Amino acid sequence: MSEELLDATGPAAPPRQNGELVFAAPWERRVFGLTMALVERGAFEYAAFQKHLIAEIGAWEASHPAEERWSYYRCWARALESLLADQRAVSLDELRARVEVLEQRPHGHDHG
């Protein structure tokens, strides 16, 4: 995977522990992998995704509901949604429906 594209620090840097990427739930690993696979296949440039991610993080920081807990990968998923919608690769409704299905898969479903 193109981990060299990822920020090690900065507003879009993914969570790490001992230098390794950290995923709290299987869906986080899936949305990360999907994004990086799309980048590697040329669907979009990582820099374009990164702009959306930084915007999503900024929007969350500016106006998140008090009861909403910080989730880097929720911002990541929203950034991917908005980028794909901007590119008209898929409708936002279709994408959100598919994300909901993936989020509901049981732990271990994807062996990771």
- CA 34 from centroid of its chain's CA atoms: 9
Cα gap 100→40, rounded to integer Å: 24
Q: What is the mean pLDDT of the chain?
A: 82
Total-model pTM: 0.72
Helix axes 92-103, 72-86, angle to 10 degrees: 150
Query: Are 70 and 60 a contacting pair, CB within 8 Å?
Result: yes
Long-range CB pairs of 67-72, under 8 A, 24+ apart, other chains included:
72/14, 72/15
Sequence spans of domains, the chain: 23-103
- At residue 19, the pLDDT reads 77
- Is the pLDDT confidence value at 89 over 80? no
